[in-house]
């Protein structure tokens, strides 16, 4: 198995600079996008370097690309990823946290470390945690 060669700190910096320049250029083309080969030429890269750059930006979720045909050749158009339009799904199992007393506490908004209502000294939370631990210990003993 071949070991991956890590770029040096200087190489990483220049890669980051190159990515930042590429993102600026792609962003400047807005909704029209930019042909992948135009980006390479603008940055002074060859097609191999340009492809790698585009793939890195894609992997990071910073750009999107659409296949297209330009002057009879298949290529891609690159666009800045519109993060705000991306759907975000977070699965939360509410059953495991719904019984925490803070969720129904009238002082939740005023509760913070060092405040009058403080989770580190709250007897309601401490009692709930103690009862929870006791139940877990009991269940583990069975
Ligand atoms: S720590 Fe106590 S006071 Fe603070 S929100 Fe939870 S139950 Fe309420």
- Every domain of the chain and the residues it spans: 9-83, 94-141
The pLDDT score that the predictor gives to residue 88 is: 67
Q: How far is the CA of 125 from the centre of ligand 1 (A)?
A: 6
Beta-bridge partner residues of 117: 111
Residue 113 backbone phi and psi in degrees, to 5: -60, 125
The pLDDT score that the predictor gives to residue 77 is: 95
Angle separating helix axes 47-59 and 9-28, nearest 10 degrees: 80
Instruction: Give pTM, 2 decimals.
Output: 0.50
| CA-nearest residue, atom 6 of ligand 1 | 102
The pLDDT score that the predictor gives to residue 2 is: 45
* Helix, coil or strand: residue 100: coil
The pLDDT score that the predictor gives to residue 97 is: 79
> Cα–Cα distances in Å, from 71 out to 35, 68, 75, 135?
11, 10, 10, 71
Residue 73 backbone phi and psi in degrees, to 5: -115, 140
Overall size of the chain counted in residues: 142
Name the residue with tokens 């877990």: 136
By percentage, how much of the chain surpasses pLDDT 70?
86
The pLDDT score that the predictor gives to residue 116 is: 92
Of 100, 114, 117, 132, which is best to mutate to test ligand 1, by the most ligand atoms within 8 angstroms of its C-beta?
Answer: 117
The pLDDT score that the predictor gives to residue 1 is: 43
Site residues for ligand 1, CB cut-off 6 Å: 101-102, 105, 107-108, 111, 117, 119, 122, 124-125
Q: How far is the CA of 2 from the centre of ligand 1 (A)?
A: 55
User: From the alpha carbon of 108, which atom of ligand 1 is closest?
Assistant: 5
**Cβ(102)–Cβ(108) below 8 Å:** yes
| CA-nearest residue, atom 3 of ligand 1 | 117
The pLDDT score that the predictor gives to residue 98 is: 84
Segments in the chain below pLDDT 70: 1-13, 83-88, 142
Q: Which CATH number fits domain 9-83: 3.40.50.300, 1.10.10.1150, 3.60.20.10, 1.10.10.10?
A: 1.10.10.10
């Amino acid at each position: 198995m071949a070991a991956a060669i890590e770029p040096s700190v200087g190489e990483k910096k220049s890669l980051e600079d190159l990515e930042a320049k590429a993102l600026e250029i792609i962003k400047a083309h807005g909704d029209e996008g930019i042909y992948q080969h135009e980006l390479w030429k603008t940055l002074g890269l060859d097609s191999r370097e340009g492809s790698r750059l585009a793939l890195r930006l894609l992997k990071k979720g910073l750009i999107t690309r659409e296949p297209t045909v330009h002057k009879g050749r298949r290529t891609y158009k690159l666009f800045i990823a519109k993060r705000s339009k991306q759907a975000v799904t977070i699965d939360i199992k509410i059953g495991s946290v719904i019984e925490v007393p803070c969720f129904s506490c009238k002082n939740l908004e005023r509760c913070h470390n060092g405040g009058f209502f403080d989770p580190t000294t709250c007897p309601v939370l401490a009692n709930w945690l103690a009862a929870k631990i006791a139940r877990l210990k009991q269940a583990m003993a069975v």
